[in-house]
Amino acid sequence: MLYPVVFTLMVAARALAQVPPMAVVTNGTVQGIRCSNADANAFLGVPYARAPIGDLRFAAPAPYNKKYDGTLIATNPSPSCVQFSRYFGTGGAGVGTEDCLFLDIYAPTSATISSFLPVKLWLYGGSNHVGSVSDDLYNGCPAAAAGDAIIVAANYRLGPLGFLVIPDTNITGNQALQDQLLAARWVRDNIVAFGGDRERILLFGQSAGARDTAVLATLPASGGLLAAAAMESGGFGKDIPRAVDRTGPHARWARDVGCAARDVGCLRAAPMDVLVAAARNVSSAGWGPVVDGTMVTQQPAAAGLAVPAIVGVTTAETANGLLERVGGPGVMARLDGTVYNEFLQQMFRGQAGAVNASYSLARFYTNTSMLYGADADAARGAAVFRAIVRIQTEREYLCPLQKGLRAEAARGGRSPGVWGYVWDQAPGCAWLGGMDADTARVLGPAHSSEIPYVFGEVAALPPGGLGNCGFDDGDRNISRALERS
């Protein structure tokens, strides 16, 4: 009579498989969900701060200290913070909510409270005025399924909500940096419940998230909170503005809202759509970290790193922006030597000839001719495109990176250590929603193109409906190495 025993075991196994993942943190019990595409668990929308509304709008974040009302059901993606532009999958300006200070946490299904796995805490990019942990690019399930780390992604406030400076008030900027530090403290205090090691927290970010990381990694408070930092495509080696440099544009923004510059009560009561509309008149570069004299007392390069770091760039950082300006990959045939010479004259004036000698189009034509075959005009246009991208990338990204590396090396034994990299892996396929294979081919190793590798997404790409190209075994091997690094 083995059948009843077998049947009982089958029922028990099925019931066990349906038990949702649980974690007990300082606020109570969190119930997560099994990832649908990977052998990992996800705990989505876990609050780390009180809603930054009312008197907390533009203020430092307040810790989420209250107990959950029963079990926290953490199965829905974190709501995005209010967006101040359109970027990737975040929707348009105005999308999102002020009550957004949540974490998404991903853990291998095998993780237990005694696993003590390294922790990777992610800060998204987006010029500090757009971005969200709920962007499909930042799905931590595949990376967690590799089994070597806990992945955490933190929402933080954007635009004026995260970086507003109003002189002679208590609105001194860097609110978003304070969000990020508070998120790191929550992770330190609770990550063991998900299988993580509180002593091995890596803060990593890309673009604006890397710039924020570059600032945070120099703060004395980070030395006892973080074990290391990683910065992809931004921030390291670049100075940030002083708070006083922001007061002019931020005061104009306040007036566009309909408030006197120092009328904090008016700004806190203003409808969100009015705040968003007024921000259209402020350059995206107008929001970001500042030297405020309190939290950030000096330039990051002068302060030096408080934790070991790895920093780097891609070889075609500016390709995305240039392609958008010239009108897409179909216009390659319209780019020629005349366009290139005009670019050099505008950018370098009297030094244009010397730059042209170092970055001649012939140097780039060999590779593009292989891409375009018999279409000689497109190959020449692509050579112009890549030459401009290379010059812009080295000027805006690689040179500051090298400056930062030299400054840190000059600290000698006071430096905890820094390592640099250059990313030259060109995705062989579309890697972003709305992108086609031709665009991916032209972009090469562009800004953000390493993210699918970092998050282990290459197996799930290209996104649906974007052609039949595919990432190869080489792509997947690189991704696996990054997942485990």
Average pLDDT value over all residues in the chain: 90
pLDDT given for residue 374 in this prediction: 66
How is the chain split into domains, by residue range?
23-244+283-307, 425-485
pLDDT given for residue 93 in this prediction: 57
Residue 292 has pLDDT above 80, yes or no: yes
Tokens representing 398? 């690689």
pLDDT given for residue 11 in this prediction: 39
How far apart CA 244 and CA 290 sit, in angstroms, is 9
Residues whose CB falls within 8 Å of the CB of residue 207, separated by 6 or more in sequence, listed in order? 125, 126, 127, 232, 233, 234, 447, 448
CATH assignment of 23-244+283-307, among 3.60.70.12, 3.40.50.1820, 3.30.300.30, 3.30.2290.10:
3.40.50.1820
DSSP H/E element including 205 = strand 196-206
pLDDT average, residue stretch 213-222: 96
Confidence of residue 188 (pLDDT cuts 50, 70, 90): very high
Per residue in 421-444, pLDDT (tens digit) is 999 998 877 777 667 777 777 888
Residue written as token pair 């990992």: 40
pLDDT average, residue stretch 230-244: 95
Residue 110 has pLDDT above 70, yes or no: yes
Per residue in 84-108, pLDDT (tens digit) is 986 544 455 558 999 999 999 999 9
- Say whether 378 sits in a helix, a strand or coil: helix
pLDDT given for residue 238 in this prediction: 94
pLDDT given for residue 119 in this prediction: 99
pLDDT average, residue stretch 213-242: 95
Confidence of residue 249 (pLDDT cuts 50, 70, 90): very high
pLDDT given for residue 469 in this prediction: 62
pLDDT given for residue 15 in this prediction: 42
**238 compared with 89, residue with greater pLDDT:** 238
pLDDT given for residue 297 in this prediction: 97
**473 compared with 1, residue with greater pLDDT:** 473
Give the DSSP letter string of 395-462: IIIIHHHHHHHHHHHTTGGGS--EEEEEE----SS--STT--HHHHHHH-SBTTTTHHHHTT-GGG-S
pLDDT given for residue 461 in this prediction: 64
Q: Is the CA virtual torsion 126, 219, 231, 402 positive or negative?
A: positive
pLDDT given for residue 435 in this prediction: 74
pLDDT given for residue 326 in this prediction: 86
Residue 168 has pLDDT above 50, yes or no: yes
pLDDT given for residue 14 in this prediction: 42
**What's the angle, vertex CA 63, arms to CA 61 and CA 68, rounded to 5?**
135
Contact 459, 476 (CB under 8 A): yes
Burial class (CB in 10 A: 0-12, 13-18, 19+), 387: buried
pLDDT average, residue stretch 160-175: 95
DSSP H/E element including 23 = strand 22-25
Confidence of residue 359 (pLDDT cuts 50, 70, 90): very high
pLDDT average, residue stretch 130-134: 95
pLDDT given for residue 285 in this prediction: 77
Confidence of residue 481 (pLDDT cuts 50, 70, 90): confident
pLDDT average, residue stretch 361-383: 77
pLDDT given for residue 17 in this prediction: 54
How far apart CA 442 and CA 462 sit, in angstroms, is 16
How far apart CA 284 and CA 279 sit, in angstroms, is 9
State the pTM of this model.
0.92
